[in-house]
């Protein structure tokens, strides 16, 4: 039986990565119908109309939730999950601070889950999720697609061939493009919810493990507050240490 998929969230990552990947799997006959649920109708409408996706996947479409314009419906995903047959797939692609609620709601309704990174914002939440998933025999996976970038695969192979020796100490540095601060991030990647390292640096924690096989023992982060163009405050500059 091919599972149906509910994507909760319809922003940048759904447009650039999740929806095209799922449409491709649908083409291959590996998944059934796709529903996208966001809080606002305009968001699903924009995704439906996205020219690049329409060109790449002619004849494919998804069910839109909400189905028509109206008030914002931040809790609509709960109803969408409740209406699914058990043991299908829910993709959590909402802002970082909402992952936990979407994942737990899906598990309570016996759904497998794919969550974009970072899985959750507190270690205790991940323990709770693991317990609930094991108890119900369900899979919860974090979507770390950067593992499949050529450079990550090449580094992994070279490391495994012994060409980098034994890993002792390394550094990595990333400066996002300046214009990113104008994106929708400024509405949620704020000091109350997340920080630049949790948002993007989590990939480095994952890749360090993926490439070397070593498991992180401790992660600490120093963040500097700065303002987005809309005036919201975020930890836009961060420096982290992974032991």
Ligand X SMILES: NC(=O)c1ccc[n+]([C@@H]2O[C@H](COP(=O)([O-])OP(=O)(O)OC[C@H]3O[C@@H](n4cnc5c(N)ncnc54)[C@H](O)[C@@H]3O)[C@@H](O)[C@H]2O)c1
Q: How far apart are CA 159 and CA 166, in angstroms?
A: 8
The string of DSSP codes covering the chain is -PPPEEEE--SHHIIIIIHHHHHHHHHTTS---EEEE-SSHHHHHHHHH-HHHHHHSTT---EEES-S--S--TTHHHHHHHTSPTT-EEEE-S-GGGHHHHHHHHHHTT-EEEEESS--SSHHHHHHHHHHHHHHT--EEEE-GGGGSHHHHHHHHHHHTTTT-S-----------GGGGGSGGGGTSSTTT--HIIIIIHHHHHHHHHHH-PPP--EEEEEEEEE-TTS-EEEEEEEEEE-
Instruction: State which of residues 5, 8, 84, 113 lies at the interface with ligand X (CB under 6 A).
Output: 8
Min. distance of Cβ 72 from ligand X in angstroms? 8
Place of tokens 């940048």: 12
- 112 interacts with ligand X by CB under 6 A: no
Touching ligand X, residues 28-57 (CB under 6 A): 37-40, 43
Instruction: State which of residues 6, 7, 11, 23 lies at the interface with ligand X (CB under 6 A).
Output: 11
Min. distance of Cβ 156 from ligand X in angstroms? 18
| Contact stretch for ligand X (CB under 6 A) within 19-27, 94-102, 104-112, 213-221 | 94-102
| Contact stretch for ligand X (CB under 6 A) within 2-10, 125-133, 148-156, 209-217 | 2-10
- 13 interacts with ligand X by CB under 6 A: yes
Min. distance of Cβ 29 from ligand X in angstroms? 26
Min. distance of Cβ 27 from ligand X in angstroms? 22
| Residues 44/69, Cβ–Cβ less than 8 Å | no
| Residues 195/226, Cβ–Cβ less than 8 Å | no
| Contact stretch for ligand X (CB under 6 A) within 11-19, 106-114, 121-129, 226-234 | 11-19
- 184 interacts with ligand X by CB under 6 A: yes
- 234 interacts with ligand X by CB under 6 A: no
- How many residues belong to the site for ligand X (CB under 6 A)? 25
Touching ligand X, residues 59-88 (CB under 6 A): 74, 77
Task: Give the x/- contact pattern for ligand X in 132-171, rule: CB under 6 A.
Answer: -------------xx-------------------------
Residues that bind ligand X (CB under 6 A): 8-14, 37-40, 43, 74, 77, 93-96, 98, 116-117, 145-146, 184, 199
């Amino acid at each position: 039986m091919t599972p149906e998929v509910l994507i909760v969230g319809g922003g940048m990552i759904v447009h650039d990565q999740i929806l095209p990947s799922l449409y491709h799997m649908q083409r291959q006959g590996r998944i059934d119908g796709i529903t996208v649920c966001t809080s606002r109708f305009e968001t699903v409408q924009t995704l439906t109309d996205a020219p690049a996706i329409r060109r790449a996947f002619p004849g494919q479409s998804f069910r839109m939730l909400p189905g028509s314009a109206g008030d914002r419906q931040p809790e609509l995903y709960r109803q969408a999950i409740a209406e699914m047959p058990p043991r299908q797939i829910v993709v959590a692609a909402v802002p970082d601070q909402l992952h936990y609620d979407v994942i737990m709601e899906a598990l309570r309704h016996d759904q497998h889950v794919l969550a974009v990174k970072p899985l959750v914002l507190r270690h205790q939440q991940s323990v709770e999720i693991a317990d609930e998933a094991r108890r119900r025999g369900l899979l919860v996976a974090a979507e770390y697609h950067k593992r499949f970038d050529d450079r990550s695969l090449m580094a992994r192979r070279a490391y495994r061939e012994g060409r980098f020796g034994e890993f002792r100490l390394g550094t990595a540095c990333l400066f996002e493009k300046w214009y990113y601060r104008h994106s929708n991030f400024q509405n949620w990647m704020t000091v109350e919810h997340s920080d630049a390292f949790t948002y993007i640096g989590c990939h480095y924690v994952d890749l360090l493990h993926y490439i070397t096989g070593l498991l992180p023992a401790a992660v600490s982060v120093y963040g500097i507050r700065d303002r987005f163009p809309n005036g919201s405050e975020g930890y836009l500059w961060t420096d982290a240490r992974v032991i």
